[in-house]
Structure formats: structure tokens, C-alpha cells
Amino acid sequence: MLDINMSDNTGPSEKAKKLFSLREEIGDCRRCKLSATRNSIVFGEGSPDARVMFIGEGPGKDEDIQGRPFVGRAGQLLTAIIEKGMRMTREDVYICNIVKCRPTIDMAFQRDRPPDEEETAACSGFLLKQIEIIKPEVIITLGNPSTRFLLGTKTGITKMRGHWHSFGGIPVMPTYHPSYVLRNGGESSPLKREVWEDIKKVLAALGSGETIVFSNEASVDSPLRKAFSDEKKQEEEAEIQRKLF
């Protein structure tokens, strides 16, 4: 189900209406082979006016069942990052994927995999329209597939993460996908701290007035500062780390 946030008591905002129309355009999609095995089309959810947009690769088992993005174990970690780390709610941000149906190995619906080129080509246009409608201040790409698609690169996430990039003038911060974090150390994964370092840069960008410097050394005017520069904020950061890690 598409969650339409109300801008006031009079009804849906213009952005919400556009997202609703986009979901209607997708319909009972048969544009690629994933339609043969899916249970749900996982469109995306959150605020149409979100300042932050998270983009993953595709729905997993739990997402396919519930029709919502990032609700499984990896989704629980993402929710913790949003709520405990960023001090926002899932309703404050927007969460979606490159493809809206669950990709699985050999189409057997047992083990998840990244979307292939055909699936990405069939579905990614809807993601681009979501970005165009929402116009977030920052995009956070989760893992290799969404980072490579959005930024047009073959470079791996370990080199891309932690550095600012740009998509259509929107700052992009790549970081690890929550499922990758959990596969590499579980709840005590050392990668959690690297994700947190990336998220801190996003928080800084949302909260101040300096300049984002992109990895290609080009820059644009956009809010950026050290979010935890004073002693009080350092104490807050330490408390957040204790909760997350």
C-alpha cells in the first residue's frame, strides 16, 4: 500500500499526489520477469517531503510478503540508524529500491540476489521519477547496486562510501547495505561504525551552512559542518554509538 502523508488537514500534498499517480502508472506491473514470482510490488514509503532518501537494490523475502521496503532484519538495522542515530522516524525519510519486486537466484524465490540489467532497465525509471518528485536534499545509497546505478560507476562500495558524490545536483552519500553489514559480523559487525561515520556526514550536511566537497573535488553550495564539534555533541555521539553498537 502506498503511504500518502498529508501536508495539512485539507488533503494530500502535490508531491503525495504525484507519487500516488506514479504508483498507479506502475499498476500490476509485468514489465520484467520478476512479476512471475513476486507477491507484492514494493513501491516505497515515507514522507513525500523527505530531506533524506534511502535507496537499496530490491525487496527481500519479508518485504515481498509485507509490501513495504526494509522491514526484515536488515530493515531493523536501518530503522535503528534512522531513529537512534539520525533521531528521525521512518515517516520523516523516504525509503525505496531500484526494483520494486523481489529478485531471487534462478527465479526460485529462495535466495535473494541483486537485480540484473534487464530488471534494472525495466524498473529504474520509476525510481528516477520518485527522486524527481521528492527532490531530497541528500540521497543515501545502500550497497553496490544502487550506488553503481545512480552514479554510473563500476567502483565498489568500499571505495565509494564515506565520500560525497552528486546525482542531478543532489548530494549522494554511499554506504554499506544493512544486509551486508549483518552478513559480516552480525549484530557486532565492525562495519556498523563505518556506516555511522557516513551517517554523521549526512547529519552534518543537513544541519549547517558550509560546502559539500565531492570526491571529484568539485563542490556546490550546500549545508555542511562538523556535526559533533563541541563537547556536548561528542557526548551525544558516544551515547548514540552505545545504542547502535
Sketch out the chain's domains with CATH numbers.
Answer: 15-244 (3.40.470.10)
Please give the residue that has the higher pLDDT: either 211 or 126: 126
Per-residue pLDDT tens for 42-64? 999 999 999 999 999 999 999 99
pLDDT at 226 over 80: no
Q: Which of 7-21, 24-38, 207-221 has the highest mean pLDDT?
A: 24-38
pLDDT of residue 30: 98
Q: What average pLDDT does range 4-32 have in this prediction?
A: 86
pLDDT of residue 208: 67
Q: What average pLDDT does range 133-154 have in this prediction?
A: 98
Confidence of residue 243 (pLDDT cuts 50, 70, 90): low
pLDDT of residue 187: 83
As a whole number of angstroms, the distance between CA 225 and CA 171 comes to 14
pLDDT of residue 213: 77
Per-residue pLDDT tens for 59-99? 999 999 999 999 999 999 999 999 999 999 999 999 999 99
Q: What average pLDDT does range 101-107 have in this prediction?
A: 97
**What's the burial of 85, exposed, middle or buried (CB within 10 Å: 0-12/13-18/19+)?**
buried
Residues, the chain, total? Answer: 245
Phi then psi for 99, rounded to 5 degrees?
-115, 155
Phi then psi for 138, rounded to 5 degrees?
-140, 140
As a whole number of angstroms, the distance between CA 102 and CA 71 comes to 13
Q: What average pLDDT does range 198-208 have in this prediction?
A: 93
Count of CA atoms in the C-beta half-sphere (13 A) of 117: 0
Please state the pTM of the whole predicted model: 0.86
- From residue 73, how far is each of 44, 56, 161, 190, 237 by CA, in Å? 17, 14, 22, 17, 24
As a whole number of angstroms, the distance between CA 116 and CA 145 comes to 9
As a whole number of angstroms, the distance between CA 235 and CA 221 comes to 29
Name the nearest CA neighbour of 141 among 169, 113, 167: 167
Please give the residue that has the higher pLDDT: either 6 or 206: 206
Could you tell me which residues come within 8 angstroms of residue 221 by beta carbon, excluding any fewer than 6 positions away? 211
Alpha helices, DSSP H only, in 27-116?
A: 61-66, 73-80
Q: What average pLDDT does range 141-162 have in this prediction?
A: 98
Phi-psi category of residue 115: left, alpha or beta, with phi > 0 → left and psi -120 to 50 → alpha: beta
What percent of the chain clears pLDDT 90, i.e. is strictly above it? 78
